[in-house]
Structure 1
Amino acid sequence: MEWEGGKVSGGKHMGTINLKEGEVFVKDGKVTNGKFVIDMNSINVTDLTDAEEKAGLEGHLKGATDENADHFFNTKKYPNGTFEITNVTEENGKQMVEGNLTLKEVSHSIKFPATITVTDNDVTVVSDAFNIDRTKWGVNFNSGSVVKDLAGDKVIKDEITIKLSVKATK
């Protein structure tokens, strides 16, 4: 998974999160459902080159210290997330994946466009970039919609942009 987040006033960071495991079910050449385990401890920042800055931001996102454990993802308490595909439909000629994203033991339904390819040997699911509102999962650090009277240059966007790319082998 690729992710991107940033401040309302500008500036952003991007990176990746790995999947631990998963499975996809296919019937008559079409994906019917599936489930993936997201390894939240694999959060990786890809836009920083300074090792200390990179480690600092990754630690903050993971909640590496008691002080910042609940700022973002608190991976000590919640090491895994999940995404469960519940439906695949077609809208305006585009495949739409619907499912339940669970982070920090909170589940919400999401829907996003994707290109799904089923062959005799594998299944690939590649999403278009889509946004989720992080506050729905209790990821509220410096959210302008949650924290009132926060200085404008400190406000972090509620939306995180995600792009998913999965290949499952039969």
Structure 2
Amino acid sequence: MNKLKSIALALVVALGTVTATAQTSTKVDASKSKVLWLAKKVGGQHNGDINLKEGTLIFKGKKLVGGNFTVDMNSINTTDLQGEWKGKLDGHLKADDFFGVEKFPTSTLVFKKIGAKKGAANTYAVEADLTIKGITAPVTFDIVANKGVANATLMIDRTKYDIKYASKNFGALADKAIDDEFELKVQLKY
């Protein structure tokens, strides 16, 4: 009988340990989340937004351990222009010179490695794979996740995704160049 009690106790402890360390996937509310972009060029800049199609953050207890996201590239929107100029820039960003959204309607970000940053509460260093135009390249960034909101700023080198239009590193004249890096500010509600 004691042997049976010992086995039962061992099972309870083992199941409790598995439950305590289980990962949970938390769906991101795409309608309340924001992805803002900023692109700079000689003599100016443009900014806008793009819609998150879907996303998931993965937690182990309260600790962020993963995530994956899909962005709707057809939703690229310029917010600093209006009228004809806005239409022209939005159209150009969707064209093959930039994101080629007809052929590549989504982009994805998948966390590959994540670790808590020492001395910074709820802050994690992330290594991820970003896929744009069917090309995957690694990116690194910090993310702060706390109380249903996660914030991150990513710097993306567009030339890694074969977006070379007006890049000074690929023949653009210096006074017509667009910076190779653009910024994404992301706020995820979960």
Please indicate, yes or no, whether the TM-score normalized by the shorter chain is above 0.5: yes
Question: Superposition pairs for residues 74-85 of structure 1, below 5 Å?
Answer: 74-85=100-111
Tell me: CA distance 1:30–1:92, structure 2 relative to 1, closer, same or farther (3 Å).
closer
**Runs of 5+ unmatched residues, structure 1:** 64-69
* Partner in structure 1 of residue 37 of structure 2: 3
The alpha-carbon deviation at position 86 of structure 1 amounts to: 2.1
Match of 1:158, SS state, is strand
For 2:86, which of 26, 51, 54 is the aligned residue?
Answer: 54
> Identity over the aligned pairs, expressed in percent?
38
Deviation per CA, 1:30-56: give whole Å up to 9, x if none.
1211211110011010111x3111111
C-alpha distance in structure 1 between counterparts of 2:168 and 2:174, whole Å: 8
Match of 1:140, SS state, is coil
The alpha-carbon deviation at position 100 of structure 1 amounts to: 0.9
The alpha-carbon deviation at position 92 of structure 1 amounts to: 4.6
Match of 1:33, SS state, is strand
The alpha-carbon deviation at position 90 of structure 1 amounts to: 2.7
C-alpha distance in structure 2 between counterparts of 1:130 and 1:24, whole Å: 17
Whether 1:71 and 2:104 are equivalent positions in the alignment is: no
Moved over 6 A (4+): none
Deviation per CA, 1:90-145: give whole Å up to 9, x if none.
3353421221111011111111122111x5xxx42201x33111100111101111
Amino acid at match of 1:2: L
Match of 2:178, SS state, is coil
For 1:157, which of 173, 179, 187 is the aligned residue?
Answer: 179
Amino acid at match of 1:74: G
* Partner in structure 1 of residue 151 of structure 2: 126
* Partner in structure 2 of residue 103 of structure 1: 132
What TM-score comes out, normalization by structure 1 length?
Answer: 0.84
C-alpha distance in structure 2 between counterparts of 1:167 and 1:88, whole Å: 19
Whether 1:25 and 2:78 are equivalent positions in the alignment is: no
What TM-score comes out, normalization by structure 2 length?
Answer: 0.76
The alpha-carbon deviation at position 78 of structure 1 amounts to: 0.2
CA contact (8 A) 1:32 1:86 kept: no
CA contact (8 A) 1:144 1:156 kept: yes
Amino acid at match of 2:45: K
* Partner in structure 2 of residue 66 of structure 1: none
Whether 1:35 and 2:57 are equivalent positions in the alignment is: no
Q: In the comparison of the two structures, how many residue pairs are matched? A: 153
**Runs of 5+ unmatched residues, structure 2:** 1-34
Match of 2:179, SS state, is coil
